Amino acid sequence: RRVDDCHNIEDFRTLAHRKLPFPVFHYIDGAGDDELTKARNTAAYNDVDLVPNVLAGVETIDTSTTIMGRKTALPLVLSPTALQRLFHWQGERAVARVAERHNLWFGISSLSSVSIEEVGANYSGPKMLQYYYHRDRGLNAALVERARAAKFDAIALTVDTIVSGNRERCKRTKFKTPPEFTPASFLSYAMKPAWGLNFLFREKFSLPNLETHVAEGSSDAISIQDYFDKMLDPNMDWAAVEQLRNDWGGKFCLKGIMSVGDARRAADIGCDAIMVSNHGGRQLDGSRAPFDQLEEIVDAVGDRLEVICDGGVRRGTHVLKALATGATAASGGRLYLYALAAAGEAGVERAVCILRDEIARGMRLMGVKSVAELNRAMLRRR
Ligand code: FNR
């Protein structure tokens, strides 16, 4: 199967499975414990039916919207994900270029394999720095200042990862970053020589946003679980969040809100947006799906901040269902990561085009000309 034969996100997942060494594939594809939540995130969308209207004159439609003050072509945000040069040598550069071409929000992870500065200098589209709250306060302050200097539009503070989720697939494959070629793991890497040659002979893998502060991150291989558990501060609280919001002063988003109470507190401290998210099911397994929580959260705070529904999106109609419920946008990680792993920039480009076309086709078939026309009367829970 080639890129041109990929007609949906699941096709890219199949291709990524073929191309990636197993530890890397399972790092992307895996989730916490029994992966119930990861499955629910998508199933929640499929459990709700669309009720279309017809005869609405839909030749000309407008899929654009405004998210945190920036107009974007689609109500879709590319969520921040770590380590992208491990998935394909073009890494974050490929994703940022596609986002810029399509005028989409690009989220860069603080665990990115390309620096904040490089993205800031080369990419003019709307961009947010995802931020983990570290025990090392100096590192926290440095990340804010680097995002400011690199002219980022927003910071998204991830609040669902104060300790690592239990990612059993990564334990089984002994996934470490950078990958370790031990006798046990050697075979799984040797079976994918194209990936291996790129990894060994292209630019050396690093985590440039952290290396001045994290000796472990630049020299020895670590598991992501160890990184989270050693480096991140599990005492992060609302006071810390408010302080960070004030230090930054720009558009501020909390990523990983699930309860109505927390959504209210986010609005109270002046957040511009929240991403209703369970980290793609990678953290607390058994957590509810963001789409299932969306209605209550929009009703509680939708007039005070923007609500982005994160995770589980595999189809354009999923995005439409989130918007019809009242979200400003939907967002996702794996929806572009499988494509990045499968074919680099060409893959991400095709995945975004597929989603763009699915959103536009879905709007026409729903009888709506703009995203603002989507509403709850168009949804029925089975
Ligand atoms: C993530 N996600 C994530 N989130 C974050 O705040 N910082 C990060 O570094 C990462 N890294 C990361 C790596 C990989 C491989 C995945 C799949 C996810 C979570 C991400 O931003 C988003 O919340 C989920 O991807 C949403 O679920 P879907 O769209 O992948 O189903």
Q: What ipTM describes this predicted complex?
A: 0.99
Give 111 Cα–ligand 1 centroid separation in angstroms: 11
CA distance 273 to 270: 9
Question: What does the block give as tokens for 256?
Answer: 């990983």
Give 80 Cα–ligand 1 centroid separation in angstroms: 6
Nearest-CA residue for ligand 1 atom 18 is 81
Q: Which of 173, 198, 170 is nearest to 187 (CA)?
A: 173
Confidence at residue 219, expressed as pLDDT on a 0 to 100 scale: 54
Amino acid at 152: F
Confidence at residue 210, expressed as pLDDT on a 0 to 100 scale: 86
Place of tokens 């919207």: 65
CA distance 38 to 189: 26
Give 38 Cα–ligand 1 centroid separation in angstroms: 11
Nearest-CA residue for ligand 1 atom 17 is 28
> Is 357 in contact with 102 (CB distance < 8 Å)?
no
CA distance 18 to 248: 42
Q: Tell me how far the alpha carbon of residue 350 is from its chain's centroid.
A: 18
Confidence at residue 218, expressed as pLDDT on a 0 to 100 scale: 47
Task: Catalytic residue, from 102, 134, 279, 318: name it.
Answer: 279
CA distance 328 to 146: 28
For 309, list phi and psi in degrees, rounded to 5: -95, 110
Q: Which of 313, 316, 360, 309 is nearest to 64 (CA)?
A: 360
> Is 107 in contact with 80 (CB distance < 8 Å)?
yes
> Is 327 in contact with 313 (CB distance < 8 Å)?
no
Confidence at residue 64, expressed as pLDDT on a 0 to 100 scale: 98
279 among known catalytic residues: yes
Confidence at residue 212, expressed as pLDDT on a 0 to 100 scale: 57
- Lining residues, ligand 1, CB within 6 Å: 27-28, 41, 79-82, 109, 111, 130, 158, 255, 277, 279-280, 310-313, 332-335, 337
Place of tokens 């992307």: 28
DSSP state at residue 373: G
Phi-psi region of 261 (alpha: psi -120 to 50; beta: other; left: phi over 0): alpha
Confidence at residue 382, expressed as pLDDT on a 0 to 100 scale: 85
CA distance 301 to 307: 8
Q: What is the dihedral of CA 133, 137, 138, 140, to 10 degrees?
A: 20
Task: Specify the ligand 1 atom closest to the Cα of 110.
Answer: 9
3-state secondary structure of 205: coil
Does pTM surpass 0.90?
yes
H-type alpha helices, 126-259: 137-149, 168-173, 183-190, 193-201, 215-218, 224-231, 238-248
In this structure, the strands spanning 105-108 and 127-131 are parallel
Task: Specify the ligand 1 atom closest to the Cα of 80.
Answer: 21
Nearest-CA residue for ligand 1 atom 12 is 81
Task: Specify the ligand 1 atom closest to the Cα of 278.
Answer: 23
For 157, list phi and psi in degrees, rounded to 5: -90, 120
Give 269 Cα–ligand 1 centroid separation in angstroms: 25
Give 332 Cα–ligand 1 centroid separation in angstroms: 7
Show pLDDT as tens, one digit a residue, over the chain (382 residues). 699 999 999 999 999 999 999 999 999 999 999 999 999 999 999 999 999 999 999 999 999 999 999 999 999 999 999 999 999 999 999 999 999 999 999 999 999 999 999 999 999 999 999 999 999 999 999 999 999 999 999 999 999 999 999 999 999 998 998 888 888 788 889 899 999 999 999 999 999 998 755 544 445 788 888 889 999 999 999 999 999 999 999 999 999 999 999 999 999 999 999 999 999 999 999 999 999 999 999 999 999 999 999 999 999 999 999 999 999 999 999 999 999 999 999 999 999 999 999 999 999 999 999 999 999 999 999 8
Sign of the dihedral through C-alpha 317, 318, 324, 327: negative
> Is 337 in contact with 313 (CB distance < 8 Å)?
no
Nearest-CA residue for ligand 1 atom 10 is 81
Q: Which of 107, 113, 78 is nearest to 352 (CA)?
A: 78
CA distance 68 to 331: 14
